[in-house]
Amino acid sequence: MDTFTVVQPRLPLGDPHICSDAKDRASLISAVYEALVDIEGPGTYRPSLAEAWRTDRDASIWEFRLRRDALFHNTHQLNSDDVTTSLERVRSPKMGGILGTQGVYASYLSDAKFEAINVDRVRVTLKEPMADLLDLLSAMPIVPEEVLDDLPEEHIGSGPYMVNDFDESKVTMAAHPHHWRGKPTYRKLRWLAEPDEEERVKAVTHEANIATGLGPEGSKRAHAEGVPIESRLGSMCVIYMLNCLKGPCRDTRVRRALNLALDREEIVDKIMYGCAEPLTGPLTPLHLGWDPDAPGYRHDPDEARQLIRDAGYPDGLKLKMDTPTESPDEAIPLSRMIAEQYKKAGIQTEIRVYRDRPNYAEMVRNKKIGDLCCFDSSPLSTFRVLREKIHSNRQGPWWQGYSNPEVDALIDKAQRTTDEEERRITYRHAYNAIVADAPWVFLYRPEYNWAVKQGSDWAPSWDCVVRIT
C-alpha cells in the first residue's frame, strides 16, 4: 500500500512541546517526532533516541547514551545539544498547555540540570529523586537545536514520517528516507479532519484506512456498513473530584457515601452504552500500581445514607455538582443520572453547567469548585496522576485539598525506588489507601473505537494511540 489515510475529529498538530494527553494529537506527534524513550507498558520502556540509560541508587542523576544513526528530517544528525535544548524548552514555565496543563513539566523539572557530556551523552541531574523520570521524558519530543526558534510553524523531527503540508483540515506526510529503524511501511500518510462521526465512518468505506474517535452511534453505523471495529479500553479515568478543602466532602464518610450511592454498571450501560469499564480506584490496568484485587465500591445506597447520618447530616446532603459540556462529552447526561441515583441515598444535587471548557479547567486548577466536579484523569503516568492530583504537600494543579500522610509518604517512597517491582508494590499500597479514603468519585474508563477498512494492516497500540511506523 502506497498511502495510508487516517480520519480524525481534529488535527491538533501544533507545538510538539505543549503538554497534552489528547489521543488525536499524540497520533500525529508520534509519526513525526521521537523522544529519548518509549513507554512499552506500565513501568516498562524501550530505547528510542537514547539507546541506553542508567541512574544512580536514588534516581537523582540519570545518564543517556544517544544513538548515532538518528537523523532529523533536515538531515541533521542527532547530538546531545539537541536533547538538552529541547528539554530546556519543554520545562520552561512559559511553555503553554492545553486545558490548564501549562507549566506542568516545569513543576517537575524546574530545578533539573541538563548537560551535554559529549556529543552522544546527556546527563540529567535532579534536585530530588525521580524514579519515574522516564514517564516524563517519553512525552518530550526532541527537535534539532537550530529549529527551536521556528516552532510551532516548522515541524522537523526524527520520526518515521516528515510533514509535507498541513492545515486544520489535512496533514500530509512522506516517509523519512533515513529513519534509523529502516524504511517506513508507507510512502505517504494522509490525515484528514472530519468532526462528523457518521462522515468519518463513511470515509472508511471509500478512501480512508482508519476512522478514530467513534462513540456508540458511530460504532453502530460502522457495523451497519460492514466496516470492522477495533476496540480497546484506555487509561483515561472519568471521575468526579471532591472538594476536600471545604464543605461536607472533607469527611471521609461523606466521600465513601458518594461512591457507595452509585450504580456504576447502570451508568456504564445507559450513559456509555456498555463501552466502558467501571473503575475500582484512581488508576486503570494500564497504570503502574493498579491493583487487580481491589474490589472497588459496591452499590449500597442504604449504607451511603447511614454514613451521611454518621457524618452529622441526619436530613441528608445538598451538594453543588460542577459539570462541563465536553471532555468528557457525556458529562451533562452523566451528572443527571448521578443526581437521580444520589436521591435514593438522601443526597440532593444542584448541577451547575459550564460551557467554556478552558475556563472550567482553570476554575478547577484554581480550586474554586463546588462540592464535586466532573473531570477526567488522562495521564498514563501513575507518577503524574498521584503527584498532580493527590499529594497534599505538592498541591499540584488538580489537587482539591485531599490530605493523607500515609499516601504522601508512599508516593515519596515510590519516587525514590528504582526497582520496578518494588515501585509497583509501593504504588499499589498507595492505590488501596486512596480507594479507602475516596478523594474522588470513581466511575469508569471509556473504550476507544476505530473503524478499520478491510485489508488495512493495523491494530491499536496498547495506549490507544494511532502509531504508524
Nearest-CA neighbor of 390 among 403, 381, 380? Answer: 403
Report pLDDT for 243: 98
Within 13 Å of residue 346, how many CA atoms lie on the same side as its CB? 16
What does the pLDDT profile of the chain (469 residues) look like in tens digits?
699 999 999 998 889 999 888 899 999 999 999 999 999 989 899 999 999 999 998 899 999 999 999 999 999 999 999 999 999 999 988 877 776 666 788 889 989 999 999 999 999 999 999 999 999 999 999 999 999 988 888 899 999 999 999 998 999 999 999 999 999 999 999 999 999 999 999 999 989 999 999 988 888 888 888 899 999 999 999 999 999 999 999 999 999 999 999 999 999 999 999 999 999 999 999 999 999 999 999 999 999 999 999 999 999 999 999 999 999 999 999 999 999 999 999 999 999 999 999 999 999 999 999 999 999 998 999 999 999 999 999 999 999 999 999 999 999 999 999 999 999 999 999 999 999 999 999 999 999 999 999 889 899 999 999 999 9
Nearest-CA neighbor of 454 among 272, 286, 232, 227? Answer: 227
Q: Phi/psi of residue 447, each to 5°?
A: -95, 140
Question: Cell triple for residue 276?
Answer: 466502558
CB 154 within 8 A of CB 438: no
Report pLDDT for 390: 98
CA-CA-CA-CA torsion sign (368, 373, 376, 382): positive
CB 451 within 8 A of CB 210: yes
Nearest-CA neighbor of 303 among 350, 241, 346? Answer: 346
Full-model pTM: 0.94
Instruction: Go through the domains of the chain in sequence order and give each one's CATH number.
Output: 34-157 (3.90.76.10), 237-446 (3.10.105.10)
Nearest-CA neighbor of 436 among 255, 248, 216, 237? Answer: 255
CB 241 within 8 A of CB 369: yes
Question: Cell triple for residue 425?
Answer: 508494590
Whole-angstrom distance between the N-terminal and C-terminal Cα of the chain? Answer: 13
Report pLDDT for 100: 63
Report pLDDT for 204: 94
Rounded Cα–Cα distance for residues 443 and 318 (Å) = 21
Distances (CA, A) of 354 to 241, 360, 364, 373: 16, 6, 12, 11
